[in-house]
Structure 1
Amino acid sequence: MTESRLMLAGQDITDCCKKIIPGQNEDLLLSQLQSLIPDHTIKLALTGDEWYRLGGVVDMNNNRIANDLIEWAERTYLECGQNLQTLIDYSIEQQLIATKQTGKTLYFVVQTGDLAEEFSLIEIDKTHEVSDRMLVNQLIPPEDLEEFIDPLQPFCIESFCFGHSRYTYRRKTDVKMFMEVINERSPGEHPVQRFMDDWNRSSAGQKHCMSDDWIIRPFQNTGRFGETNINVEIINTQKTNLPQLEDFTGKKGSALSNVLNRFDRQAGYPFAWFFYMIKGRQVSTYSAEAVYRDISNDFAYLPKRDEAVLRDWIASPYNA
């Protein structure tokens, strides 16, 4: 496969999400996204863990007061003359309820070439809104607006849903282009880039598509001086329960080779044990050291390309 540019606008994905009411699975969304890019194959690589964020405001009769709790609280606080007690009294009198958005992020992958980094990642949130708490806990009223918006000791109530679930487009990442930016900012070779480079030159890269088992996800965090840092991480999407490879005491030669080959077969591609060693805790680094001792003593069960990757790691270890 030669690399081909993915022509898919974010607005098209947004429109697609708005037209679909989520069901028990994501088959309908997947088919609609596929119809937007008939020359490529799109697949759902991962469904993330559940998260939640602040929702809106409703009354006891389920009437919508506001979609955005933060915006409503700040605006109403000003309308109350910046008097917190007035805002509290009003919220209690109206028996207002705060809602929350719960959701999971869906990660879709579109492979655009043969190399590990030649794919695009599409992130779509699947959310639904539920009641969370009374807006004000009368027993422990808030002391400032921040605590009013997100109290430490809320008066929680039984949850009930508002409307139906929805899909919301988050972002699309061309991994190859994104990694070019990351590499420019990285003082040395970024471990995620090295992971992909090692994949491309190993037996794994010759036999298997990396995005079938691993995705590259951008993220941001705040530095110690308050600055926003953009970075990237590798996430394993494999659903197979693979064994832990930790104790290599006394294993060498064919015995060691058999253990690693068995792991590779279960993972579905050659040299898998190496990449699970680089990322995660599935495989101990003792495995690489044991294999290196073997190949240094004329055991030749690794292909030359994998042996070269291993020797480079021994000379300069890294974790992704």
Structure 2
Amino acid sequence: MNAPTAWSERCRLLAEPIVEACTVTPVAAGPAVLAREISKYLPDWSFREVLCRGGWYRLGGVLGGDGSRISDNLEQWASDALDERHGDMALLLEDHAGSALRATRLTGRTHYFAAATGSGGSTDFLQLEVEELQETWAQRLFAQGATPGTLDELVDARCNDCAGCGEADTRRCGTPIEAAHYQFRRLTHIGDLLASMRTQSLDAQPIHRFVADWDASSAGPATAFSNHWAVALREHLDRYRQTIVRATPVAAVTGEAPRFGAREGTSGLSLHAALLAFDRAVGYPMAWYFSLLTGKAVAHWVAVAVASDAAAGFSYLPDRDLMVVRQWLHRPYAF
């Protein structure tokens, strides 16, 4: 990536008080209280929760059989232990045979908050990611009969029979070790990030086309992008050891997305009615199109049928929206 920009430096400075707000706010209070706490530290910024995504975990630490903490980093502990034995996994298993050492996991949810910067562009907003983490008991690292062949198999094994292991209810896999807590993950100016991402490749990424479609369609002037979308970010190193960022829009929908009320083969007035109903349910015009790009609620046949209706002289979309649909049909993309 390029050298830090003015926005990236500003986000770095803003992060410190947000970290403090996360530290002093109990999870039981909820994300709305966290947002208010952040506003005490940063009164010029108004963060609101847009989306919460859960169901993920990461590896935690290592605990002794008595609950004493051996390490906060399971992967590092296991890697060091294996290095001490010159990579001999069999020797590592032999040395710890019968050990009561237990792994832990951090189960989590990610809360996405947004705050407008005041410049008015669709991506001119700060996105704050805060993790809600809880450490839980996980598998015995050296359970009897376990024969992991790799480091990954050792540290990320699943235990399906804690009762058979004789563990007390308070130490069975998935049982919390301590109360959940908030942890700052990342603060990003989305527009600045997307601009930086354009330097990674000569071709625009799908997220750039998505934002361009948003601005070109009726959705852009109707509502703020950050009211309806969070941007999930992933990073990896390419073969030149350069950091590559991938961005995916995630609909800020609580629960299941609305169902699209038309079957394949529908056209004309019936299709138009289904489009309007879906847009109203989601809350902005052209919602059906953006749902088509990012999920399964709306199938690709809908775009084909809309363009076919227009070609037959029955055009119920504004010209700007029809243009976006036709461009997608000419050069489709999706996430």
Q: TM-score, normalised by structure 2?
A: 0.80
Q: Given the alignment, which residue of 175, 191, 209 partners 1:176?
A: 191
> AA paired with 2:224?
C
Percent of aligned pairs with the same residue? 27
What do residues 244-295 of structure 1 show as CA deviations (whole Å, max 9, x unaligned)?
Answer: 356242521x333222111111111112112122222222222222222222
Q: State the alpha-carbon separation in 2 of the partners of residues 238 and 142 from structure 1.
A: 40
Q: Is the 8 A contact 1:245 1:282 kept in 2?
A: no
Q: State the alpha-carbon separation in 1 of the partners of residues 275 and 310 from structure 2.
A: 14
The equivalent residue for 1:59 is 64
1:307 lines up with 2:322 in the alignment: yes
Q: Is the 8 A contact 1:41 1:110 kept in 2?
A: yes
Q: Is the 8 A contact 2:27 2:181 kept in 1?
A: yes
The more displaced of 203-212 and 86-95 is 86-95
Q: TM-score, normalised by structure 1?
A: 0.84
Shift of 1:177: 0.9
The equivalent residue for 2:127 is 121
Distance change in 2, residues 1:306/1:64 (3 Å): same
Q: State the alpha-carbon separation in 2 of the partners of residues 251 and 278 from structure 1.
A: 20
What do residues 79-113 of structure 1 show as CA deviations (whole Å, max 9, x unaligned)?
Answer: 78988777656655663222222111221122224
The equivalent residue for 1:101 is 106
Shift of 1:300: 4.0
Q: Given the alignment, which residue of 117, 122, 132 partners 2:138?
A: 132
Q: State the alpha-carbon separation in 2 of the partners of residues 80 and 186 from structure 1.
A: 43
Shift of 1:307: 2.6
Q: State the alpha-carbon separation in 2 of the partners of residues 21 and 317 from structure 1.
A: 45
Q: State the alpha-carbon separation in 1 of the partners of residues 315 and 154 from structure 2.
A: 67
- Report the secondary structure of 2:127's partner residue: strand
The equivalent residue for 1:247 is 263
Q: State the alpha-carbon separation in 1 of the partners of residues 79 and 332 from structure 2.
A: 51
Distance change in 2, residues 1:266/1:88 (3 Å): same
After TM superposition, list the pairs within 5 Å mapping 1:1-320 onto structure 2. 9-23=14-28, 25-75=30-80, 88=93, 91=96, 95-112=100-117, 113-142=119-148, 147-151=153-157, 156=162, 157=167, 158-159=172-173, 160-221=175-236, 229-239=244-254, 241-244=257-260, 247-252=263-268, 254-320=269-335
The more displaced of 113-122 and 143-152 is 143-152
Q: State the alpha-carbon separation in 2 of the partners of residues 229 and 145 from structure 1.
A: 26
Q: State the alpha-carbon separation in 2 of the partners of residues 154 and 183 from structure 1.
A: 45
Q: State the alpha-carbon separation in 1 of the partners of residues 293 and 222 from structure 2.
A: 19
Q: State the alpha-carbon separation in 1 of the partners of residues 88 and 315 from structure 2.
A: 77
Q: State the alpha-carbon separation in 1 of the partners of residues 32 and 136 from structure 2.
A: 24
The more displaced of 242-251 and 180-189 is 242-251
Shift of 1:319: 2.3
Q: State the alpha-carbon separation in 1 of the partners of residues 145 and 264 from structure 2.
A: 59
- Report the secondary structure of 1:162's partner residue: coil
The more displaced of 265-274 and 20-29 is 20-29
Structure 1 alignment gaps of length 5 or more = none
- Report the secondary structure of 2:133's partner residue: strand
